Amino acid sequence: MKRSEMEKDILKVLVTEEELKKRVDELGEALYEKFEGKTPLFLGVLKGSFIFMADLMRATQLKSDLEFMSVSSYANATESSGRVRIVQDVQHDITGRDIIVVEDILDSGNTLAYLRDYLLGKGAASITIVTLLDKPSRRTKAVNADFVGFVVPDEFVVGYGLDYAQQYRNVPYIGVLKPEVYGQ
Ligand code: IMP
Ligand code: MG
Protein backbone atom coordinates (compact mmCIF):
# COMPACT_ATOMS: atom_id res chain seq x y z
CA MET A 1 0.00 0.00 0.00
CA LYS A 2 1.19 3.50 -0.76
CA ARG A 3 2.09 5.20 2.53
CA SER A 4 0.76 8.67 3.02
CA GLU A 5 1.55 12.10 4.41
CA MET A 6 -0.80 11.21 7.27
CA GLU A 7 1.57 8.58 8.56
CA LYS A 8 4.27 11.14 9.22
CA ASP A 9 2.13 12.08 12.24
CA ILE A 10 2.37 8.58 13.73
CA LEU A 11 4.95 8.17 16.48
CA LYS A 12 4.69 4.38 16.82
CA VAL A 13 2.54 1.39 15.93
CA LEU A 14 0.85 -0.31 18.89
CA VAL A 15 -1.13 -3.01 17.08
CA THR A 16 -0.27 -4.08 13.53
CA GLU A 17 -2.71 -4.94 10.75
CA GLU A 18 -1.82 -8.63 11.07
CA GLU A 19 -2.43 -8.61 14.83
CA LEU A 20 -5.78 -6.87 14.31
CA LYS A 21 -6.91 -9.43 11.75
CA LYS A 22 -5.95 -12.40 13.92
CA ARG A 23 -7.60 -11.03 17.06
CA VAL A 24 -10.79 -9.94 15.31
CA ASP A 25 -11.14 -13.46 13.88
CA GLU A 26 -10.72 -14.89 17.39
CA LEU A 27 -13.37 -12.52 18.76
CA GLY A 28 -15.71 -13.57 15.95
CA GLU A 29 -15.25 -17.24 16.89
CA ALA A 30 -15.92 -16.47 20.55
CA LEU A 31 -19.11 -14.58 19.69
CA TYR A 32 -20.21 -17.43 17.45
CA GLU A 33 -19.85 -19.86 20.32
CA LYS A 34 -21.69 -17.62 22.73
CA PHE A 35 -24.63 -16.90 20.42
CA GLU A 36 -24.91 -20.09 18.36
CA GLY A 37 -28.62 -20.76 17.73
CA LYS A 38 -29.58 -17.17 18.53
CA THR A 39 -30.03 -14.07 16.38
CA PRO A 40 -28.16 -11.27 18.15
CA LEU A 41 -28.26 -7.62 17.19
CA PHE A 42 -24.88 -6.01 16.55
CA LEU A 43 -25.00 -2.43 17.77
CA GLY A 44 -22.09 -0.27 16.75
CA VAL A 45 -21.17 2.91 18.56
CA LEU A 46 -20.41 5.47 15.87
CA LYS A 47 -18.19 6.59 14.53
CA GLY A 48 -15.16 4.82 15.95
CA SER A 49 -16.49 1.25 15.68
CA PHE A 50 -17.28 1.24 11.97
CA ILE A 51 -14.17 -0.57 10.71
CA PHE A 52 -14.05 -2.99 13.64
CA MET A 53 -17.75 -3.73 13.15
CA ALA A 54 -17.32 -4.52 9.46
CA ASP A 55 -14.56 -7.02 10.19
CA LEU A 56 -16.09 -8.46 13.37
CA MET A 57 -19.49 -9.10 11.82
CA ARG A 58 -17.91 -10.97 8.90
CA ALA A 59 -15.85 -12.99 11.38
CA THR A 60 -19.06 -14.01 13.22
CA GLN A 61 -21.08 -16.16 10.84
CA LEU A 62 -24.38 -15.94 12.72
CA LYS A 63 -27.79 -14.79 11.59
CA SER A 64 -27.79 -11.30 13.02
CA ASP A 65 -28.81 -7.77 12.25
CA LEU A 66 -27.12 -4.43 12.59
CA GLU A 67 -27.86 -1.07 14.15
CA PHE A 68 -25.74 1.94 14.94
CA MET A 69 -26.00 4.57 17.61
CA SER A 70 -24.12 7.79 17.69
CA VAL A 71 -23.26 9.26 21.04
CA SER A 72 -21.11 12.16 21.95
CA SER A 73 -19.04 12.76 25.03
CA TYR A 74 -15.96 14.35 23.51
CA ALA A 75 -15.45 17.65 21.81
CA ASN A 76 -12.20 17.72 19.83
CA ALA A 77 -10.25 16.97 22.96
CA THR A 78 -8.49 13.84 24.13
CA GLU A 79 -10.32 13.78 27.47
CA SER A 80 -13.92 12.69 28.03
CA SER A 81 -16.30 15.41 29.15
CA GLY A 82 -18.15 12.86 31.31
CA ARG A 83 -21.54 13.73 29.83
CA VAL A 84 -23.00 11.42 27.23
CA ARG A 85 -25.54 12.61 24.69
CA ILE A 86 -27.41 10.48 22.16
CA VAL A 87 -26.97 11.98 18.71
CA GLN A 88 -28.55 9.08 16.79
CA ASP A 89 -30.69 6.37 18.37
CA VAL A 90 -31.48 2.80 17.23
CA GLN A 91 -34.02 2.62 14.41
CA HIS A 92 -35.99 -0.46 15.51
CA ASP A 93 -37.53 -1.91 18.66
CA ILE A 94 -34.91 -3.75 20.73
CA THR A 95 -37.29 -5.31 23.25
CA GLY A 96 -36.18 -8.83 24.10
CA ARG A 97 -33.09 -8.67 21.90
CA ASP A 98 -29.65 -10.02 22.72
CA ILE A 99 -27.45 -7.04 21.93
CA ILE A 100 -23.76 -7.11 21.10
CA VAL A 101 -22.50 -3.58 21.71
CA VAL A 102 -19.43 -2.97 19.56
CA GLU A 103 -17.12 -0.19 20.72
CA ASP A 104 -13.74 1.00 19.52
CA ILE A 105 -12.24 1.71 22.93
CA LEU A 106 -13.31 1.50 26.55
CA ASP A 107 -11.66 4.40 28.32
CA SER A 108 -13.34 6.18 31.26
CA GLY A 109 -16.36 3.90 30.85
CA ASN A 110 -18.79 6.83 30.63
CA THR A 111 -20.09 5.89 27.19
CA LEU A 112 -20.64 2.20 27.82
CA ALA A 113 -22.01 2.62 31.36
CA TYR A 114 -24.58 5.02 29.94
CA LEU A 115 -25.41 2.86 26.91
CA ARG A 116 -25.75 -0.33 28.91
CA ASP A 117 -28.33 1.24 31.23
CA TYR A 118 -30.09 2.95 28.34
CA LEU A 119 -30.45 -0.29 26.32
CA LEU A 120 -31.59 -2.34 29.31
CA GLY A 121 -34.12 0.43 30.01
CA LYS A 122 -35.43 -0.02 26.47
CA GLY A 123 -36.08 -3.69 27.16
CA ALA A 124 -33.01 -5.47 25.77
CA ALA A 125 -32.82 -9.08 26.98
CA SER A 126 -29.04 -9.06 27.34
CA ILE A 127 -26.07 -6.81 26.68
CA THR A 128 -22.70 -8.19 25.62
CA ILE A 129 -19.96 -5.59 25.32
CA VAL A 130 -17.19 -6.13 22.78
CA THR A 131 -14.47 -3.53 22.66
CA LEU A 132 -11.49 -3.57 20.35
CA LEU A 133 -9.31 -1.73 22.86
CA ASP A 134 -9.42 -1.37 26.62
CA LYS A 135 -7.60 1.28 28.65
CA PRO A 136 -8.40 0.01 32.16
CA SER A 137 -6.04 2.48 33.82
CA ARG A 138 -8.44 5.35 33.04
CA ARG A 139 -11.71 3.79 34.18
CA THR A 140 -13.94 5.96 36.36
CA LYS A 141 -17.22 4.05 35.82
CA ALA A 142 -17.81 0.45 36.90
CA VAL A 143 -18.10 -1.14 33.49
CA ASN A 144 -16.20 -4.03 31.98
CA ALA A 145 -16.28 -5.50 28.51
CA ASP A 146 -17.21 -9.15 27.99
CA PHE A 147 -14.73 -9.40 25.12
CA VAL A 148 -11.60 -7.28 24.69
CA GLY A 149 -9.33 -7.20 21.64
CA PHE A 150 -6.27 -5.60 23.18
CA VAL A 151 -5.46 -3.88 26.46
CA VAL A 152 -3.58 -0.67 25.70
CA PRO A 153 -1.57 1.68 27.90
CA ASP A 154 -2.73 5.18 28.81
CA GLU A 155 -1.84 6.78 25.48
CA PHE A 156 -4.11 8.42 22.94
CA VAL A 157 -4.41 6.07 19.98
CA VAL A 158 -5.72 6.42 16.44
CA GLY A 159 -6.43 4.22 13.43
CA TYR A 160 -8.72 1.31 12.48
CA GLY A 161 -11.69 3.62 13.07
CA LEU A 162 -10.35 5.66 15.99
CA ASP A 163 -9.87 9.35 15.42
CA TYR A 164 -8.16 12.39 16.68
CA ALA A 165 -10.33 15.43 15.83
CA GLN A 166 -12.15 13.23 13.25
CA GLN A 167 -8.99 12.36 11.38
CA TYR A 168 -6.71 9.29 11.15
CA ARG A 169 -9.65 6.83 11.18
CA ASN A 170 -8.35 5.26 7.96
CA VAL A 171 -4.89 4.48 9.31
CA PRO A 172 -5.00 0.67 8.93
CA TYR A 173 -3.31 -0.16 12.27
CA ILE A 174 -3.49 1.21 15.83
CA GLY A 175 -0.89 3.89 16.38
CA VAL A 176 0.11 6.69 18.70
CA LEU A 177 0.37 10.24 17.36
CA LYS A 178 3.38 12.45 17.81
CA PRO A 179 2.73 14.80 20.75
CA GLU A 180 3.12 17.89 18.56
CA VAL A 181 0.10 16.80 16.48
CA TYR A 182 -2.24 17.56 19.36
CA GLY A 183 -0.19 20.37 20.72
CA GLN A 184 1.22 18.81 23.90
P1 IMP B 1 -15.19 6.67 27.42
O2 IMP B 1 -16.62 7.11 27.44
O3 IMP B 1 -14.28 7.59 28.18
O4 IMP B 1 -15.01 5.21 27.83
O5 IMP B 1 -14.65 6.84 25.97
C6 IMP B 1 -15.14 6.15 24.94
C7 IMP B 1 -14.93 6.92 23.65
O8 IMP B 1 -13.88 7.89 23.75
C9 IMP B 1 -14.51 5.97 22.58
O10 IMP B 1 -15.62 5.45 21.90
C11 IMP B 1 -13.66 6.83 21.68
O12 IMP B 1 -14.45 7.43 20.69
C13 IMP B 1 -13.09 7.90 22.58
N14 IMP B 1 -11.69 7.62 22.96
C15 IMP B 1 -11.22 7.28 24.18
N16 IMP B 1 -9.89 7.09 24.16
C17 IMP B 1 -9.51 7.28 22.88
C18 IMP B 1 -8.22 7.20 22.21
O19 IMP B 1 -7.16 6.89 22.75
N20 IMP B 1 -8.25 7.48 20.87
C21 IMP B 1 -9.38 7.81 20.19
N22 IMP B 1 -10.59 7.88 20.78
C23 IMP B 1 -10.65 7.62 22.11
MG1 MG C 1 -13.92 9.13 18.95
User: Do the domain assignments include residue 173?
Assistant: no
User: Do the domain assignments include residue 111?
Assistant: yes
pLDDT of residue 124: 98
More confident residue, 21 or 141: 21
> Across residues 145-167, what is the average pLDDT?
96
Is residue 48 lining ligand 1, measured as CB closer than 6 Å?
yes
Q: How confident is the model at residue 182 (pLDDT cuts 50, 70, 90)?
A: confident
Per residue in 93-126, pLDDT tens?
999 999 999 999 999 999 999 999 999 999 999 9
> Across residues 147-158, what is the average pLDDT?
96
Domain harbouring 134, CATH code: 3.40.50.2020
Per residue in 31-81, pLDDT tens?
999 999 999 999 999 999 999 999 999 999 999 999 999 998 755 555 556
pLDDT of residue 78: 59
Is residue 73 lining ligand 1, measured as CB closer than 6 Å?
yes
Judge whether 163 and 6 are in contact, CB under 8 Å: no
What's the CA-to-centroid distance between 25 and ligand 2, angstroms? 23
Pocket of ligand 1, candidates 51, 101, 103, 104: which has the most ligand atoms within 8 Å of its Cβ, to mutate?
104
Give how many domains the chain has, as a whole number. 1
Judge whether 133 and 147 are in contact, CB under 8 Å: no
78 CB neighbour count, 10 Å cutoff:
13
| 3-class SS letters over the chain | CCCCHHHHHEEEEEECHHHHHHHHHHHHHHHHHHHCCCCCEEEEEECCCHHHHHHHHHHCCCCCEEEEEEEECCCCCCCCCCCCEEEECCCCCCCCCEEEEEEEEECCCHHHHHHHHHHHHCCCCEEEEEEEEECHHHCCCCCCCCEEEEECCCCCEEECCECECCECCCCCCEEEECHHHHCC
User: Do the domain assignments include residue 160?
Assistant: no
What's the CA-to-centroid distance between 112 and ligand 1, angstroms? 10
User: Do the domain assignments include residue 9?
Assistant: no
User: Do the domain assignments include residue 181?
Assistant: no
Domain that holds residue 38: 18-72+89-152
pLDDT at 7 over 60: yes
User: Do the domain assignments include residue 116?
Assistant: yes
Q: Which ligand 1 atom sits nearest the alpha carbon of residue 47? A: 12
User: Do the domain assignments include residue 164?
Assistant: no
User: Do the domain assignments include residue 137?
Assistant: yes
**Closest by Cα among 107, 113, 33, 42 to 74:** 107
What's the CA-to-centroid distance between 23 and ligand 1, angstroms? 20
